[in-house]
Structure 1
Amino acid sequence: MGTRPALALVDILRDEGVDRIFGNPGTTELPFLAALSETEGAPEYVLGVHEGAVVAMADGYARATGRPAFVSLHAAGGLANALLGLLNARRSRTPLVVTAGQQDRRHLQQDPMLSGDLVALAAPAVKAAYDIQHAHDLPLALRRAFALAVRPPAGPVFLSVPTDLLAEDTEVEVPARTPTPPPGPAPGIEHAAVLLAGAARPAVVAGDGVGREGAVAALVRTAEACGATVHHQPMADCLDFPTTHPLYAGMLPPRHDAIRAALAPHDVLLIAGAHAFTPHQYTPGPALPPGLTVVQLDSDADEIGRNFPAEAGLVGALEPSLDRLAGLLRERVPAHTAKSRTLRAGERHGTARDRAESAARAAYSAAPLDPWAAAHAVAHGLPPGTAVVEEAITVGLLLRRLVRLERPGSYTHTVGGGLGWGIGAAVGRALAEPGRPVVAVLGDGCALFGLQGLWSAARQSAPVLFVVMGNGAYRTVQDTYEAMGGRGRCPGTELGPLDFTRAAGFFGVDAVRAHSARHLRELVSGAAELTGPLLVDVPLRP
């Protein structure tokens, strides 16, 4: 039995597990909004007052739930505003299904207001873009979009849907959802186990695929089975390995020369679920030192050998593959060898952590607040089980060295690099995991790009602690300018003093200014008691 196109859209959303729609509506979405109002048990519409915040909320929600989030945008202008968020989602491999209402086809040739080539506009920022021209094609295209959004590499999928198509008084057939079996372990794991078992100084790069696919525990078992030193991939989006573990050596810097130096002491390297090494600043030479034997494991076949050759390239689901690899390594590597490597690594890494702790504590007395002290206060104030959403750039690098996190999903970032993601992502995270403390650590420049997300935080009563680190500048640009030998002040990078408590008040969010590192730590420790959003303004030393 068929149903009208707009109602079919709502039916498919419910069938695909969508319980919230993130959007900012306009006239081209009116048939869809009418269908939502007519449908009992329809997904909740979560309004954002700017499309950047809308997509960021969906991004945070999808990461927390592990399901594709649905985004509804308005025509060409709404899609254009959303492109930054879609680029972030594609780089971070967040599964989204995104629609935008196209203008009425009956006068589209007259170039009406709101119209545009939506598919061409979206294409560079998404995995795939579909132009729906017939009502009977919409249900099938939606099913494809949800399947494609989660297929490795995951990412956003876009559909352009004309408003008159949704309003058609015709019936369309809704195809049943086709369940797919979970992917299995990669072939060739035995060869990988031989290479890693034969290593004298093994190492692991934990990529974001590990966190996305729920494979953290399996990677821990793999590393422990051979005593391998573990690094996070550069600017990791997820917690891919416990930062409390003695084998954890920190995040690789996003420069090839620094990566090469960090990996030079090792003879065999397992790269698990990492998209290349995502360098930020160019440095000459390859990321990997000469003579290093590489085992690469990924659920996306295109990653294997993409930027560097691998002795063993494995394609399969990370969790069962790593679980199988761990078992084979326990059979091949003597337990005393793995244990002694772990103890030695724990001593080295403990010394490095102690140095970072000492530097941070020594800065506690500085006024205004020193970035080290601010990062330390946040790291040590986090309530148990907190989900940290970080978009702080320079302070975020310090925070990564100080946080002690074990629970999967407890740290998120976007490697996409488009500013303004953090506020909305934190709101989405709080909506997805009610009862879990959420602390968003933001740079002042990043916060300025995403301020409209505070409106949704207030409207949703999202219990998020927003910590805005205010250094009054685009500090990472200034640092890079100085490193490149720039003379004088770098033009266009000064923000000056900003009062984010006033900005929060405008959107209806309570706010307070931290006057010391201890005060900041107290505020962060209270995040679990929040019943609504709270913004903490943290002025930092230049």
Structure 2
Amino acid sequence: MPINPTPSGAAPLLEKVSVRAAVLDLLRGFNITTMFGNPGSTELPLFLDFPADFRYVLGLQESVVVGMADGYAQATRNASFVNLHSAVGVGHAMGNIFTAHKNRTPMIVTAGQQARSILPFDPFLFSAQATELPRPYVKWSCEPARAEDVPLAIARAYYIAMQEPRGPVLVSVPADDWDKLTERVLPRVVSTESRPEPRVLEQIGAALDASARPAFVIGAAVDRGNAWNEVLQLAERHNARVWTAPMSGRCGFPEDHRLFAGFLPAMREAIVSLLGGHDLIFVIGAPAFIYHVEGAGPHVPPGATLVQLIDDPTIAAWTPVGTSAVGSIRLGVLDLLARPAPAPRALPAPRAALPRAEPSAPMSTAYVLQTLAEVREPASIVVEEAPSARAPMHDYLPILRSETFYTMCSGGLGHSLPAAVGVALARPGARVIGLVGDGSAMYSIQALWSAAQLRLPITFVILKNRRYAALQEFAPAFGFRPEDPLEGTALPDLDFVALAKGHGCDAVHVGDAAQLHEVLRQALRSTGPILVEVDVA
């Protein structure tokens, strides 16, 4: 979709204004009036005479700041603006910059730099290689050669961040640049999507029409690319079984749909087994495939053909087999829908129904998630980071609507608790549920303070199993026996009710299955943030 800047009402370009005024006016034109940051000394000049129409969202640690900005950008479908301190601030933020890179989140990261006049003397708190520090996890990074070029660099950064595949960018700005005089830069209309090559789409369309038993594998780029409805229509046209790709950070298909088959694990042999019996595998908006452990053998079942529609040419380049079309997911699927309808084919067998999870002491994660599914509204937004709960979540907490599920595509912890804050900021009035494991929560617990200060309607559900359970479950893949000790995975003595209240957030503990339904029901009605700590087995 093209970038549609709003008229800025700016004076003619030749009028000289401060770099600060030029950048703020440019951001207004891009509909960016919220800044996320944790400022240091070199960032202060940006905030002189801070305008009333801008909002500054403070986070208590730089990684938290980037996580909030990630959720905000994904939920608004526009680039977010982040202001970080120089080298050390960017260093603190790198974990979630990496996640933003994997999430394909458009984000303009500005980093302070010491004044140009003292850079030759290696001053305190300067960044020696400011443009290299965030690489390779930004699409572009720049420290403008002149102060007058800062607005142009911000403009270029925005267009690059918004171009598919989207992602974060970084601009390093010396502290004394903001007061220099420069010319205004007006926003432009720049296309952000490209149409896949018709010749390649024709091959994919013909393969779909000829297939007897097609399967779709849906990835994060479907919902990210605003293609949920189009992919649903295409799946129904072909009566294709639909799987979710491994490690997908978004939901791209209603999980209660008749055609939904389930979730693929990040293991080569397991993927081949689950897709067995299909003669065509159509991967839409996802890598083919993400693996987490070493595997062997074919990448698709014997006799099956793989085709792919992906917005990232880098992913298409390493896809090991098959045909890949590169471009906008939405535009590519629309072109496939424009083809004549194929011959009717029978519906595939439905997904087997699961037994209900029953209450126990301590509660199972499945029971907690089943209860949450029963009390939440389908339109509520789940922001998840509970790796050991991912399998029961897939079974007992179905996602039913577009733009109601977010998690990290990177596997790096510390994203989703602050991302829930960013999503809630971007979607006023929506109920946001931050579903987070106890180990994950401790990477970015400071986000509770931001949620409390902003009085956001977020229900944080902490699944407390007192360990890094994902590591213990993964250990057998590396030769550990059940009786072998696994160092560094126990998490005793964490009190999330106390931690939440210490950050100004309401909180309640649940250890009894009989109380869970009512506690969650009340928490989902709160007008401000509340944390529910739930003991699970």
Q: Name the TM-score class by shorter chain.
A: over 0.9
Cα distance per residue 1:111-162 (max 9 Å; x no partner):
2221122222111221111112312211111111111112122110001110
Q: Which runs of 4+ in 1 moved over 4 A?
A: none
2:160 corresponds to 1:148: yes
CA deviations 1:370-412 (Å, max 9, x no partner) are 2221222222222230100000001122112222332101111
State the match for 1:15 in structure 2. 29
After superposing the two structures, state which structure 1 stretch, 371-380 or 472-481, moved more.
Answer: 371-380
1:505 and 2:505 matched = no
Aligned to 1:345: 349
Tell whether 2:48 aligns with 1:34: yes
Cα distance in 2 for residues equivalent to 1:183 and 1:447 = 38
- 8 Å CA contact 1:140, 1:175 repeated in 2: no
Task: Encode CA deviations 1:318-346: one digit per residue, 9 max, x unaligned.
Answer: 22321331342x62222xx2xx31xx432
Structure 2 equivalent of residue 514 of structure 1: 510
Equivalent of 2:80, from 50, 57, 69?
69
> What is the deviation of 1:479?
1.3
Q: Is the Cα–Cα contact under 8 Å of residues 36 and 59 in structure 2 kept in the other structure?
A: yes
Count of aligned residue pairs for this structure pair: 519
Can you list the C-alpha shifts for 1:233-262, whole angstroms capped at 9, x where unaligned? 112111111101111111110111111111
| Residue of structure 2 in register with 1:332 after alignment | 342
Correspondence 1:314 to 2:325: yes
The aligned runs of 1:429-448 (5 Å cut-off) are 429-448=423-442
What SS does the corresponding residue of 1:125 show, helix, strand or coil? coil
Structure 1 residue 226 displacement after superposition: 1.1
Measured in 2, the distance between the counterparts of 1:286 and 1:121 equals 38
Distance 1:522 1:212 in 2: 34
Matched residue, 2:20: 6
Deviation at 1:196, TM superposition (A): 0.9
After TM superposition, give the deviation of residue 185 of structure 1 in Å: 5.6
Alignment match, 1:494? 490
Q: Counterparts of 1:99 and 1:508 in 2: how far apart (Å)?
A: 29
Q: Residue deviations 1:407-441, cap 9 Å, x none?
A: 10111110112211111000111111011111011
1:219 matched residue in structure 2: 231
Counterpart of 2:459 in structure 1 is 465
Structure with the bigger percentage of helix: 1
Change (3 A) 1:50 1:241: same
Q: Say whether residues 1:391 and 2:385 are aligned partners.
A: yes
User: What's 1:164 paired with?
Assistant: 176
Per the alignment, residue 538 of structure 1 pairs with 534
SS in 1 for 2:131: helix
Q: Which moved more, 1:157-166 or 1:524-533?
A: 524-533
Q: Is the 8 A contact 2:162 2:192 kept in 1?
A: no
Equivalent residue for 2:365?
A: 371
Query: Would you say 1:248 and 2:260 are equivalent positions?
Result: yes
Q: Using the TM superposition, give the Cα deviation of residue 283 of structure 1 relative to its aligned residue in structure 2, in angstroms.
A: 2.2
Aligned partner of residue 182 in structure 2, secondary structure: coil
Residue 318 of structure 2 aligns to a residue whose secondary structure is coil
Q: Which amino acid aligns with 1:322?
A: V
Q: How does 1:188-337 map to 2 (within 5 A)?
A: 188=199, 189-310=201-322, 312-328=323-339, 331-334=341-344, 337=345
Distance 2:150 2:533 in 1: 46
User: 1:403 matched to which residue of 2?
Assistant: 397
Give the equivalent residue in structure 1 for 2:64.
53
Rounded to whole Å, the distance in 2 between the matches of 1:181 and 1:507 is: 40
Structure 1 180/256 Cα, relative in aligned 2: closer, same or farther at 3 Å? same
Offset, 1:300: 2.5
**Retained in 1: the 8 A contact 2:219–2:251?**
no
- What is the SS of the residue equivalent to 1:304? helix
On the 8 A contact 1:221/1:323 being kept in 2, the answer is no
Structure 1 stretch 108-117 or stretch 241-250: which is displaced more? Answer: 108-117
Is 1:485 aligned with 2:479? yes
AA of the residue aligned to 1:4: S
How far apart are the structure 1 equivalents of 2:243 and 2:321?
Answer: 19
CA distance in 1, matches of 2:326, 2:399: 29
User: Which residue, 529, 532, 537 being the options, matches 2:525?
Assistant: 529
Question: 1:25·1:72 contact (CA, 8 Å) conserved in 2?
Answer: yes
Residue segments in structure 2 that go unaligned for 5+ positions in a row: 1-14
Note the C-alpha offset of 1:197.
1.3
